[in-house]
Amino acid sequence: MFLKNSLLISHPRLRDALSLSKGAGLSLLAFAVLVACGDEVTEVTEVNESGMKIIEKGEKLPSCTTDNEGALVYALDSAAAYACVNREWTSFKGDKGDDGANGKDGKKGDKGDQGKQGEKGDAGKAGASCTVEPLPDSSGFKVLCGGDSVGVVLNGKKGDKGDKGDKGDQGKDGKSVDGAENILIDARDKQIYRIVTIGTQTWMAENLNYKTDDSRCYNDSVEYCTKYGRLYRWPDAMDSAAVFSDNAKGCGDGVAYTIKTPARGICPEGWHIPTRDEWEVLYNAMGESPYAMQAKGFENWPDAIDAFGFSALPTGYLVGRYVGVGLYTFFWSATPEAFYWYVDVDRAHSNQAPAYADAGISVRCLKD
């Protein structure tokens, strides 16, 4: 605890010490200044005549006992004077001052930084693009949108020259024809297919691309469906669910069934899945030449001549995985059990593979 001045002066030895210091030239006022300005004292070179001791550090005060009651000590490190009173050292520094008044409020802070820009929204879905490709016979163009055929534009035939009039009037405009004899439009999805007559038969000259829940595009890419048509399991190709006809109801589903020919399967109305015998008729009409059946323009079919416009494509097939595109193709027939027609680089023939009934292969339809 800190000692008040009245208590300090009332102590006999302390009062005598202060009196002696007066006689030696150290006034009480000077002593007070020494205490009040303690932070400015840097060194003491002598001990005054009052007997006040000077030490380096306040923590090394000598013992305060009855023998040195009233002794004075000055510590250089804290610039504080100590008196031994009642066997305790008491500092002459004043009591701790009251807390200062609260400062004024600070100025208003600067404006905060602008918030981050929100994330960019997802891009909208791309619209379907449309393209045109020339028909094989150069009679016009086929229009494709999103991979599906949506129409055909045929070239108009040149009109007959008009008769010369008395006054030389211009001849009449020629009429455009729709080329219906070479085109099949599937009423179900409006897809357009080229057709060709070979011998006594009229065939689709393109693979069927009618979408069913069980059909697939090679590599699951719509681009392959546009070029090669879709791949079908035999029960799907034969319409075993009897969606369009009951002529092959239940076929390939592990139940007893009877196929009534012609079996429409999933072909457009008025067309059917060809039987094994009907495939043989086609092959005979082509002179039993695989090259006459193959479409031209494929690296692995270098001898293809597509002599009749049937244009078989090397679609490959699906059997657990997609294989064989560019090398060979298969077509389903309506003959049990799962007969198919096969074409590769130098062969064309029919074969039977009941175990392949779940394989995905192509469909060509024959007109009834």
Bridging pattern class, strands 72-75 and 53-55: parallel
Find out whether 157 and 175 touch, Cβ atoms under 8 Å: yes
Name the more confident of 364 and 179: 364
- Most confident of the ranges 62-66, 160-164, 318-322: 318-322
Region 332-351: mean pLDDT is 89
Q: What pLDDT, on the 0 to 100 scale, is given for residue 307?
A: 96
The answer to whether the Cα torsion of 52, 54, 58, 64 is positive or negative is: negative
What tokens does 353 get?
A: 């593979």
Contacts of 19 (CB under 8 A, 6+ apart): none
Q: What pLDDT, on the 0 to 100 scale, is given for residue 154?
A: 73
Is residue 16 scored above 70 in pLDDT?
A: no
The rounded mean pLDDT for the chain is 77
Q: What pLDDT, on the 0 to 100 scale, is given for residue 273?
A: 97
Name the more confident of 66 and 171: 66
Which of 162, 180, 179 is CA-nearest to residue 171? Answer: 162
Helix (H, G, I), strand (E, B) or coil at 267: coil
Measured CA to CA in angstroms, residue 227 lies from 29, 139, 148, 213 at distances of 115, 19, 10, 20
Split at pLDDT 50, 70, 90, the class of 11 is very low
Split at pLDDT 50, 70, 90, the class of 42 is very low
Q: What pLDDT, on the 0 to 100 scale, is given for residue 63?
A: 85
Q: What pLDDT, on the 0 to 100 scale, is given for residue 245?
A: 94
Report pLDDT digits (tens) over 276-310: 999 999 999 999 999 999 999 999 999 999 999 99
Give the pTM: 0.53
Contacts of 323 (CB under 8 A, 6+ apart): 316, 317
d(CA 343, CA 350): 9
Contacts of 354 (CB under 8 A, 6+ apart): 337, 338
Q: Which of 53-57, 89-93, 260-264, 283-287 has the lowest mean pLDDT?
A: 89-93
DSSP secondary-structure letter at 68?
Answer: G
Cα 47-48-49 angle, rounded to 5 deg: 125
Split at pLDDT 50, 70, 90, the class of 99 is low
What tokens does 95 get?
A: 């009591």
Q: Which of 109-123, 168-182, 219-233, 312-326 has the lowest mean pLDDT?
A: 168-182
Name the more confident of 2 and 275: 275
Residue 63 identity? S
Report pLDDT digits (tens) over 137-188: 677 777 777 667 767 777 766 656 646 545 545 543 433 334 567 999 999 9
d(CA 332, CA 78): 110
Q: What percent of the chain has pLDDT over 90?
A: 44
Torsion angle, CA of 137/138/140/143, rounded to 10 degrees?
Answer: 80
Find out whether 366 and 201 touch, Cβ atoms under 8 Å: yes
Is residue 316 scored above 60 in pLDDT?
A: yes
231 forms beta bridges with 216
Q: What pLDDT, on the 0 to 100 scale, is given for residue 24?
A: 36
- Most confident of the ranges 95-99, 250-254, 336-340: 336-340
Q: What pLDDT, on the 0 to 100 scale, is given for residue 321?
A: 96
Sheet holding 348-352, edge to edge: 329-332, 339-343, 348-352
Is residue 39 scored above 70 in pLDDT?
A: no
d(CA 181, CA 9): 137
Split at pLDDT 50, 70, 90, the class of 323 is very high
Region 325-351: mean pLDDT is 91
Is residue 20 scored above 90 in pLDDT?
A: no
- Phi first, then psi: give them for residue 182, nearest 5 degrees: -115, 5
334 forms beta bridges with none
Diameter over CA atoms, the chain: 162
Measured CA to CA in angstroms, residue 84 lies from 47, 52, 155, 363 at distances of 17, 11, 128, 120
Q: What pLDDT, on the 0 to 100 scale, is given for residue 339?
A: 87
Split at pLDDT 50, 70, 90, the class of 53 is confident
Name the more confident of 308 and 52: 308
